[in-house]
Each structure stands twice: as structure tokens, then as C-alpha cells.
Structure 1
Amino acid sequence: MTDLSRLIENAAASLTHVRQRRPRVHCLMNTVVQKFVADGLAALGANPSMTSSPDEVAAFARRADALVVNLGTLDDGRRTAIRLATAVARDAGKPWIVDPVHCDYSPSRLAFARELIASGASVVRGNASEMDIIGEVTEALKIKTGPVDELTLERHRIRIENGHPLMAQVTGTGCLSGALIAAFMAVEPDRMKAATGALLASGVAAEFAANSSNGPGTFEAAFRDALAALRPEDIIANARISHAEG
């Protein structure tokens, strides 16, 4: 069995583990997509929590198995909540992911994203323009998303081709991707394996959903249904991954 075959088998097994263990993922999430992300996590089998109140976010982060930080709708209160939650996750050794949404738009947002990454993020995930401006990431797994997702950890690089163009027409699919990675990290300690599993699950589900959709409106509902119905054997049969050069 090749290394890629093992990654695919591990992805399928991790999907089963998520559904068996139902990890709690605390989401400091873009307010525009909170319901979509919560519903997507629940459809796959994880438990979402979403509060961003500085008064209680630390308590929620302590109860969670993993944390996802999304900078989509950022203000002073959210900056405070993010710092509190990430400190809890770091001190407790919980996995956490940063999605530096629109860090290429705002110097202050970029500085905050870099602060978070330097403070011990397990994974950094963003689109090409966001990840290009973030630049070198030495400790975290770096994920550049697009028509092909590229995962880089030290000298190891994986490319994942699963997905569908309709994902780009539904606000929140990328945000959900980050939350699913957090859910998989809660059951799989190897970050590369966990992220590969989450992106394969999301990408294969998107392909299934597109087959029964007429456009972005029907795709949104079908994608959630596809996540709920996704089987481990679907990942094994449909995964398209490869080693990247360089």
C-alpha cells in the first residue's frame, strides 16, 4: 500500500471516528456563516459551539476538543475573544486552526493573523492571495485552497483535487472547511492526515451534491445532505490526491 493509499484509508477511518466520538468544535466564526458552519459540522457528526463573548469564550474553549478561528468579521471584541480562546487551546494542548480571511485586505488584520500563527496554531488555511501574503509558515501545517488544495508541512506536500466549482458560489464553504479540519484534528493527532481527511470528505461530498443540484441555491442544501450521507467507502472510491513537487 502506497503512502497516498494509507492517507486515503486514514481519511475514511477518521470520518468514522468523528461520527463515533462526536468531537466538540468551538468556532470563532465569521458571523455571516455561523449557521451554515454549525449545520455542516452537525451533518458530518461533530458538535459545534459558537459563542464569541469574551466573558465566556474561555470556558467554552476548555470544553471543546478543537478550536477554529476565522477572521471574517473582526472587531475589538472578537480580537479579545480570539486571544482568550487560543490561549486556552495552547495551554491545554488542543488543536486549533486559523483561517486568516481577507488578511490581504487589511494591514491590521494581517498583523493579527501573523500574531496568531506565531502563538502556536496547528494549521493555517486560506485562499491563494491570503496564504501568499502570510508568507512562510514554519511550525503550522499550511493549506492553500483553490481548485486544487495544497497542504504543506515542512518538506511534505500533498495536493487534493476533490471539490466542485459550485462551492465558490456558496458563502461559507471555505469557512466550513476550516471547521471540518478542526473536527478531524480532534480525532486524528497527525495534522496532515487530519486535514487530508477533512478536505477529502468535504470535496467528495461537494461532488455528490453537485450531481443533484441545479445551481448554488440547491447545492447549499444538497451539500449538507451529502455530508450527512457520506460513507467511508465514498472517500476511498473517489479521492483524488497526489504528492506535490518541491
Structure 2
Amino acid sequence: MSSFPTAQTAADLLARLRQRRPRVHCLMNTVVQKFTADGITAIGGIPSMTSSEEEIESFVSTVDALTINLGTLDAARRKVIRMAVEIANAHGKPWIVDPVHCDYSPSRLDFAHELIALRPTIVRGNLAEIAIIGDVGTALRIQTGPEDLLQNTHTKAKISNGHPWMAKVTGTGCLSGGIIAAFMAVESDAILAAAAALTVTGVSAELAAIHARGPGSFEAAFLDTLYAIEPSDILSLARIAHHEN
């Protein structure tokens, strides 16, 4: 049975991540690749981004975690994603899938269901995406929004940190998937890892907003804060609670 995530857990995992510097491979929305890579690097991880069919086995077999984002999806990317999942499962690598805009496209929804049947560690989406996805099997289910809701078989948690400007910068949600993957690389309990990642990103957003004037300056301040955030910030500002359906 999972332990319940706490501010102390999040602070401890942040310190562990920075010490270990896990490698995260990202099959990512092409619109936000740089922002995602910068954010993973800022928090203490090492990102890789290739979607080359010739290289994917070498990369995925040696990284610590995999994040898959369906944001810009075509036939070539579907093929590489299938390959990456097979490799990750064969090597026991944790992986997260973000079924971006699966509520817009029946074929995208079918592909998301195909991936979920392959037993990801985590499925993360917004309210509309999670609602249409339905059952996620054994995966940790994360519904993001003004409050992030996390649920597995035993535990339900709510993260209330964040700032409205996160919704005004393209890619903050995609980046959170990459940061969750980095935390999964240092903590095998998915709900502890994901809660820590979402708490760190949410607290970073709150602190960044203090120094920003709007979405443009917020983006830069957010990356700066991911780099500079301390465990003490998490302990003083984290808002983690139980939630009910």
C-alpha cells in the first residue's frame, strides 16, 4: 500500500533527484521540446529528446524514466512511441503518458487506449482528457487543473499549489510530465513521486509569479525558480491533502 505524500516527502525527493541527476527520455510535443528540456535540466535531471527510429532503443534502454506526450502526433511518431514503450517495459523503466487532446480526435483516443493497455506507470491529463480516457488500469491516474487530483487503488491526494499564469504559458503541463518522470526515476512509489513533482512545480510557479509581470516574464522566472527552489520552500508552502470523489 502506498504511503500518503507529504511536504516532507516532496522536499526529500527533490534533494534526492538533484543528487542523482536522473536521465529522462522525452517523446514530446514538438512545440514545447526546448521548454521541457530546460525545465528538466533546471530541476536537476538530464533530458534527451530524440524520436529517431534508429536511436530510440539505445536511448530508452539506458535512461531512468520515459515520458510520452501525444501533442504533435503523426504516423512516424506513433511508431517510435510503440517502440519506446516496448523497450521501456522490457527493461523495467517507469513511464508516463500524457494523452494530449485525446478528447479532440477519435484516432488519438484509440492510440491513448492502446498505450494504457501496455501498463504505463502514470496517466496524466486535464479534466476533459481524463474523463474521456476512463479506466487507466493499474496506472496512477492524475487529473491536472487548478487542483491536481491523484488516485491509485489505495490513495487519493490533492495538490493545491500553482498559479493561473501556468495556463498562459504553452508547455507547463507538458513540462510537468517530464518532471514527474524525473521524480519517478528516484522513487518507485508512483503517487509519492508524482505528488512531489506536482508540488515542486506548483510551489515554483507561486514563487515565480512574485517576480513576473505577465506570462512572458513568468516563463523565465518559472525556470529560474525550478533551479533555485529549496526543500525549505516546499516545507513552508506545500498544500497536499486527501481528496474525495
What CA distance in whole angstroms lies between the structure 1 residues aligned with 2:36 and 2:135? 28
Deviation at 1:63, TM superposition (A): 1.5
What CA distance in whole angstroms lies between the structure 2 residues aligned with 1:146 and 1:32? 21
SS at 2:50's partner residue? coil
Deviation at 1:138, TM superposition (A): 2.2
Instruction: Note the residue ranges of structure 2 that are not aligned, 5 or more in a row.
Output: none
TM-score scaled by structure 2?
A: 0.97
- Deviation per CA, 1:98-122: give whole Å up to 9, x if none: 0000000111100100110110100
Map of 2:186 onto structure 1: 187
Amino acid paired to 1:149: D
Q: Do structure 1's residue 34 and structure 2's residue 23 form an aligned pair?
A: no
Q: Do structure 1's residue 138 and structure 2's residue 115 form an aligned pair?
A: no
Map of 2:120 onto structure 1: 121
Map of 1:224 onto structure 2: 223
Map of 2:54 onto structure 1: 55
Contact 2:117–2:137 (8 Å) recurs in 1: no
- Deviation per CA, 1:170-227: give whole Å up to 9, x if none: 0000000000000000000100000000000000000000010000000000000000
Contact 1:26–1:64 (8 Å) recurs in 2: yes
State the Cα RMSD in Å.
Answer: 1.0
- Deviation per CA, 1:123-160: give whole Å up to 9, x if none: 00000000000012220000000000000101411010
Q: Do structure 1's residue 244 and structure 2's residue 223 form an aligned pair?
A: no
Q: Between the two proteins, what is the percent identity of the paired residues?
A: 59
What CA distance in whole angstroms lies between the structure 1 residues aligned with 2:104 and 2:53? 26
Instruction: Note the residue ranges of structure 1 that are not aligned, 5 or more in a row.
Output: none
What CA distance in whole angstroms lies between the structure 2 residues aligned with 1:138 and 1:237? 35
Deviation at 1:60, TM superposition (A): 0.6
What CA distance in whole angstroms lies between the structure 1 residues aligned with 2:136 and 2:235? 30
- Deviation per CA, 1:220-242: give whole Å up to 9, x if none: 00000000001111111100111
Map of 2:175 onto structure 1: 176
SS at 2:123's partner residue? strand
Contact 1:159–1:241 (8 Å) recurs in 2: yes
**Higher mean displacement: 142-151 or 51-60:** 51-60
Map of 2:97 onto structure 1: 98
Contact 1:28–1:69 (8 Å) recurs in 2: yes
What CA distance in whole angstroms lies between the structure 1 residues aligned with 2:144 and 2:51? 26
Deviation at 1:55, TM superposition (A): 1.2
What CA distance in whole angstroms lies between the structure 1 residues aligned with 2:232 and 2:110? 42
What CA distance in whole angstroms lies between the structure 2 residues aligned with 1:245 and 1:39? 35
Q: Do structure 1's residue 85 and structure 2's residue 65 form an aligned pair?
A: no
Amino acid paired to 1:184: F
TM-score scaled by structure 1?
A: 0.97
Aligned pairs, how many?
243
Contact 1:26–1:67 (8 Å) recurs in 2: yes
Amino acid paired to 1:205: S
What CA distance in whole angstroms lies between the structure 2 residues aligned with 1:163 and 1:51? 30
Contact 1:138–1:154 (8 Å) recurs in 2: no
What CA distance in whole angstroms lies between the structure 1 residues aligned with 2:87 and 2:11? 30
**Higher mean displacement: 56-65 or 22-31:** 56-65
Map of 2:107 onto structure 1: 108
Map of 1:7 onto structure 2: 6
